[in-house]
Amino acid sequence: MKFDFKRYYRSFIYSNLNDTTMLICGILTVFFSFLGHSIENGFFSGFLKSAYQTLALLLGNYDFKATNIVSKCSLYIAIVFTLFFYCSVFIKLLGKKLRTWFFLKFLAKNHIVICGAGDMGYALAKDILNKHQDKKLLVVDINPANDNLNSICTLGGYAISGNAIDKNVLNKLNITKAEKIILMTGKDISNLEILDAITKVIPEADKNDPDNEKNIYIHLESKENYEILQSIKEKENDKVSLSIKNKKDKLNSEILDDITKVIPEADKNDPDNEKNIYIHLKSKENDKVSRSIKTRKNISNLEIKKAITKVIPEADKNDPDNEKNIYIHLSSSMINIRAFSVYDNAAQTLFMKHPLGENVDTIDNGSVNLAIVGFDAAGLSVLYRALALGHFFNGKPLNVTIFDNNHEKKRAEFLKLYPIGLKAGGIINWNIYFKDDRELFNKDGIKNFNQIIFCKTNVQASLTDIARIIKNQSTHLENKQFFIFIDKHDGIKGIANDIKIGDKNKIDIIPFGNFSQICSYDVVVNEIYDKMAIRADQRYSDLHDYDTNWGGLSPFLQDSNRMQVEHLPIKLKAINKLLSKNRFLEYDEAKEKARNRWFDLMLNDQNVSDINKIDLWDKIEGAKILATYISLDNIEKLAKMEKHRWNAFYILNGWTTIPKPEGQNYPHRKDDNKKEHALLIGWDELEEASKYIVEDGKNDDEEASKYIVEDGKKPHNYKSDDVETVMRAYDMIVSAFEDDKILQDENSIYCKEIFEFKQKIDRIKNK
């Protein structure tokens, strides 16, 4: 292994030169100095003289005469220890501060700032310093006695204490020059306060400077705080406006012409960024004049505003007779805010590697019975994902039992977050029970559960609970999966693997949620766990000609894409069993029957189809194989699974169903502000509801206009959307992974069903 001199030096400086080191060096200095002088002066007769000379040496007087070789050696050794003593004193009092001061003064640019050095923040900092040594890291924590600050410096980072809500502290961190800012204090309210403070500190000019883009990552434990975050993000995306006074309306055309000259001609045709410029004229006869201009860089906004002020004569700016309000709309803010939760990361890794019902026959008659022990942040994240993902081929509901020592209070808190009884509209597909955690340890307490997930904040308590179950309920351990949330206790992995009953390992204990993994830089910043979701969303946008990108999606829509991908292993468990060795139908025949079944709508006694929608199958990789090697009846069951999943996700996020007015169309398909959706209904109701939903913005192409039958309505059977998600299963995988290496890696978060499915489709393709 290559010797890292810098790291060794830092370790020596921060770990060894401490109070104990100073004391030892001081004692050794006195000992050797007194020994050397006593040999020259006499141990008893020259005691006072030797003591005086020792004190002088400590104060820097090295002028001594030694005739004896032993005294010379002793005095030289004393000098060495004196130097060590002064070095340790200097470093203790000033050295660390000077290093940090120099960094803040001269090097704090394009650096990473972490606010919070608790267990999560320290795990992230440690990962960056160990695996991304090209990054400059600065950590701030409110507690000056936090030992993690010193550990971060030892590893090569920089750390200070202070309250990151304070504007002076943010300026000290040089926050406006930071490349990435990660808020991980451990408390949502603190993270939100820091975020608000940061958005006020960053100068207005910097927000429009693409060379100084801010990427802020905020840890939010509670889902409801995402609503608050969205308001902050919208505030940062407000329009930048400039008000200019002008005497004559006729100059408007001149202003617009000059604006187009400011932006390079080549940029006008770049669809990646759009400026919408509106000039309001005070005169009644002049309506609003608008012009849409394409440009590649937001830096042009500042140039545009400067050019506008130059076009209008300086003297006219102060004339109140006529006012121009010029608004430049930015397509994207220069402050990019992304929310995340390490507890969501833990639940995500758990169910991607070990899907719900992994050890249950969910194809035929098996029911998934899940137990969650401990209902704090980790337990809540696990339950949220379980309810969002627990929808199976056989249609049987997921049964979840929460065990907690304060189960009534936790049940009340859960219903505050998810008032499911009020929102569900009779289409939920799960059963939830809350019980005292002592009931799990009764005789036969675990008998009916397939998967038991321990999410207690005290990892030792979870491990003790598992030991009690092994001791008292060993007859029920067969075909059971036990999961334990381990946060910072990585060593639990080895302990879990070693637990046995007798000579056989009959118990399957699987650790998850270790901070070294879920708080890593690749997870928090590079979104490595979202790779499939990001690529699947991009692929979906390409198929449907949507101009969207992952970073521009709201947290809700990003989570929607995650859940679609994370449900894939549960679908694939069924698909892997359903794939036939031989074709059921030829592709054209299957496509025609699918059109009649899921794409046609009867409107005004006329059977019409969304032709473009069915033709997408030709572009989706693997769709032809799924359409021909799985029966259409089973494809419909898979689509029903997807519909149940989609409904659950919207219900869990507070959406309700739009009531249909009698004898009229739905007023709209969805209302994002009211969180209402016309399609939050059962599978069997979809086709009828589709007849009364007017598609917005999809009737402007020539092909679609052929099928408009009334009131601008374009036929679209929404059953086809859920079927399309099923048909995109292989496409989602190959769009994310160019080869099979990561899918075969035992340490990856991806379950065996994904690799098995890809292999099966590849074999059929290569026939």
Distance CA 307, CA 445 (A): 75
Residue with the larger pLDDT of the pair 755 and 275: 755
Q: Model confidence at 124, in pLDDT bands (50, 70, 90)? A: very high
Mean pLDDT lowest among 87-91, 130-134, 427-431, 508-512: 87-91
Residue 369: predicted pLDDT: 98
Question: How does the average pLDDT of the chain come out, rounded?
Answer: 81
Taking 90 as the threshold, does the pLDDT of residue 766 lie above it? no
Whole-prediction pTM: 0.79
Among candidate residues 701, 516, 551, the one with its CA nearest the CA of residue 123: 516
Q: Model confidence at 84, in pLDDT bands (50, 70, 90)? A: confident
Tens digits of residue pLDDT in 197-243? 998 887 654 555 555 678 999 999 988 888 787 767 666 554 333 44
Distance CA 230, CA 339 (A): 10
102, two tokens = 């120099």
Taking 90 as the threshold, does the pLDDT of residue 744 lie above it? no
Sheet harboring 508-512: ordered strands across? 430-436, 398-404, 369-373, 451-454, 481-485, 508-512
The three-point CA angle 429-430-435 to 5° equals 165
Share of the chain above pLDDT 90, in %: 48
Taking 80 as the threshold, does the pLDDT of residue 466 lie above it? yes
Residue 525: predicted pLDDT: 92
Residue with the larger pLDDT of the pair 547 and 285: 547
The strand ranges marked E within 635-690 are: 656-657, 670-671, 676-677
Q: What are phi and psi of 614, to 5 degrees?
A: -70, -30
Quickly list DSSP for 270-324: -TT-EEEEEEE-SSTT-PPEEEEEE-S-TTHHHHHHHHHHHHS-GGGGG-TTSEE
Residue 178: predicted pLDDT: 93
Q: What is the mean pLDDT of residues 105-119?
A: 95
Decide: 480 and 446 in contact? Cβ < 8 Å: yes
Residue with the larger pLDDT of the pair 699 and 104: 104
Residue 258: predicted pLDDT: 57
Distance CA 610, CA 699 (A): 12
Mean pLDDT lowest among 16-20, 243-247, 657-661, 708-712: 243-247
Beta carbons within 10 angstroms of residue 510's beta carbon: 16
Residue 6: predicted pLDDT: 59
Burial class of residue 298, CB neighbours in 10 A (0-12, 13-18, 19+): buried
Quickly list DSSP for 136-172: -EEEEES-TT-HHHHHHHHTT-EEEES-TTSHHHHHH
307, two tokens = 């050019």
Among candidate residues 700, 143, 653, 669, the one with its CA nearest the CA of residue 424: 653
Q: What is the mean pLDDT of residues 336-350?
A: 93
Residue 288: predicted pLDDT: 40
Every domain of the chain and the residues it spans: 5-94, 108-235, 238-332, 342-521, 527-766
Tens digits of residue pLDDT in 528-558? 899 999 999 999 999 988 888 888 888 889 9
Taking 80 as the threshold, does the pLDDT of residue 276 lie above it? no
Taking 90 as the threshold, does the pLDDT of residue 354 lie above it? yes
Beta carbons within 10 angstroms of residue 759's beta carbon: 13
Distance CA 719, CA 602 (A): 14
Among candidate residues 79, 78, 60, 68, the one with its CA nearest the CA of residue 43: 68
508, two tokens = 């399957």
Taking 70 as the threshold, does the pLDDT of residue 12 lie above it? no
Among candidate residues 523, 550, 522, the one with its CA nearest the CA of residue 535: 550
In the chain, what is the straight-line distance between the N-terminal and C-terminal CA atoms, in Å? 48
Burial class of residue 128, CB neighbours in 10 A (0-12, 13-18, 19+): buried
135, two tokens = 């990054």
Beta carbons within 10 angstroms of residue 623's beta carbon: 21
Q: Model confidence at 449, in pLDDT bands (50, 70, 90)? A: very high
Q: What is the CATH number of domain 342-521?
A: 3.40.50.720
Q: Report the SS3 class of residue 668.
A: coil
Q: What is the mean pLDDT of residues 588-609?
A: 88
The winner for highest mean pLDDT among 261-275, 414-428, 486-500 is: 486-500
Residue 268: predicted pLDDT: 46
Mean pLDDT lowest among 63-67, 177-181, 182-186, 467-471: 63-67
Q: Is the dihedral of CA 709, 710, 713, 719 positive or negative?
A: negative
358, two tokens = 């992994």
Residue 506: predicted pLDDT: 57
Give residue 84's identity as a one-letter amino acid code: F
For the chain, helix (H) and strand (E) counts, in that order, are 34, 21
Q: Report the SS3 class of residue 124.
A: helix
Distance CA 679, CA 427 (A): 12
Taking 70 as the threshold, does the pLDDT of residue 255 lie above it? no
What angle in degrees, to the nearest 10, is found between the helix axes of 47-58 and 19-41?
140
Residue with the larger pLDDT of the pair 86 and 463: 463
Q: Report the SS3 class of residue 10.
A: helix
Residue 228: predicted pLDDT: 80
Decide: 112 and 180 in contact? Cβ < 8 Å: yes
Taking 80 as the threshold, does the pLDDT of residue 705 lie above it? no
Taking 50 as the threshold, does the pLDDT of residue 698 lie above it? no
Q: Model confidence at 126, in pLDDT bands (50, 70, 90)? A: very high
The domain defined by 108-235 folds into Rossmann fold (3.40.50)
725, two tokens = 């998600």
Tell me whether domains 108-235 and 342-521 share a fold.
Answer: yes
Q: Model confidence at 594, in pLDDT bands (50, 70, 90)? A: very high
Q: Model confidence at 79, in pLDDT bands (50, 70, 90)? A: confident
Distance CA 139, CA 125 (A): 8
